[in-house]
Structure 1
Amino acid sequence: MDNFAEQLVKKNETSSDKTRRVMVMVVGALLTLTLAALAILQLRNPILSLLGLALAAAAGYGTYHYVQNTYVEYEYTFTNGELDVDKIIAKKKRREMLSTNIRQFTDFGKYDDGMEESDDMTVIMATDNIASHEYYADFTDETVGSARLIFAPDERMLENIKKALPARLRTKQQ
């Protein structure tokens, strides 16, 4: 029988994320309006006017694109011992962050902010930024070497992961 679980986790924004997005929106809008106004003032010189309008459009599009890319979700998919984590940006673009076998985990448990990471360890954050229910998984990956995944599995996902853990980690969990 196949074991399958899927979970979508929306990244909660910190106050600095919200502030950064608002600042980019304000600066982007001011830059777009300023460039458009300069383009209109240069109507006697059509080349400068066209260049100003093109720059205003680029500034507006760049601002829109940046703001849209701040909306992030993570999708965890567990299938028969394989864990896949994808990053979904603006509900449009999907990027695979990692794919690993649970049996490759060298450590697993509840995450604590004070946990030490080695200098050569790659930390993969795929969490909703709510520390009370974050877990970590240490493993070795072919592409990045030593890695730590920090994520926020729900009860169903956690149950499936615990069943697939190596025996030494499973006994540690009890």
Structure 2
Amino acid sequence: MDNFKEQLVTTTNKTAYNASKIFMGIFGVLAFFFFVTANLLFGLFFAVGCGLLFYFKRFLYLEYEYSITNGEVDVDKIMEMKSRKRIITFNMKNAELVAPVDSDVYKDFGNKPSEIIKAVPAGNTDRVYAAIITGGAKRVQLLFVPNEDIINLCFLYNPKAVKKNL
């Protein structure tokens, strides 16, 4: 039987995203107004501003999805509830340590990798865990916010590395 769990972690602070949508609309209306009144320089300025806001607002609303299937952990980044990008895939057997960032076990762990993958949404208030993963010669540190079900399933596949009751 397959063991499968997934968790979607959304951002809680949407103020910057909503403000960028409002300013994008205002800039679009102003660009149209200035183009109609033959003031091309201001129209071009506001059109470029509207385009830049359209491009960069997708980075203001990020969600992360963690899924584990038979020991394979997938972490995806979802931008603006539209496009999905796989951040990392690893097997739980390759994890050296999975522990809360504020725990002594993590703080005392020597030789932490310098490459850190942050999969924690803005405005997060839940407990952040760190997973130190070895994939051949490459070592990575993943910061994420799993729920109790994900932690228990990770513990099932690598009980030595997962520190769940800290």
Instruction: With the length of structure 1 as denominator, give the TM-score of the two structures.
Output: 0.71
The percentage of aligned residue pairs carrying the same residue is 24
Residue 67 of structure 2 corresponds to residue 73 of structure 1: no
Q: CA deviation at 1:62?
A: 2.6
Q: Give the aligned length.
A: 161
Structure 2 match to 1:150: 143
Counterpart CA distance in 2 for 1:123 and 1:32 is 38
* Cα gap change, 1:98 to 1:61, in 2 (>3 Å): same
SS at match of 2:102: coil
Structure 2 match to 1:168: 160
Structure with greater helix share of residues: 1
Q: Name the Cα RMSD after superposition.
A: 3.5
The one-letter code matched in structure 2 to 1:109 is A
Instruction: With the length of structure 2 as denominator, give the TM-score of the two structures.
Output: 0.74
SS at match of 2:160: helix
SS at match of 1:88: strand
- Could you give the per-residue CA deviations for residues 99-134 of structure 1, whole angstroms, max 9, x where no partner exists? 000000111111229948968521111124535422
* Cα gap change, 1:156 to 1:95, in 2 (>3 Å): same
Counterpart CA distance in 1 for 2:164 and 2:43 is 61
Counterpart CA distance in 2 for 1:148 and 1:119 is 7
Please list, as runs of the form range in 1=range in 2, the aligned pairs for 1:1-12 lying within 5 A after superposition.
Answer: 1-12=1-12
Counterpart CA distance in 2 for 1:149 and 1:160 is 17
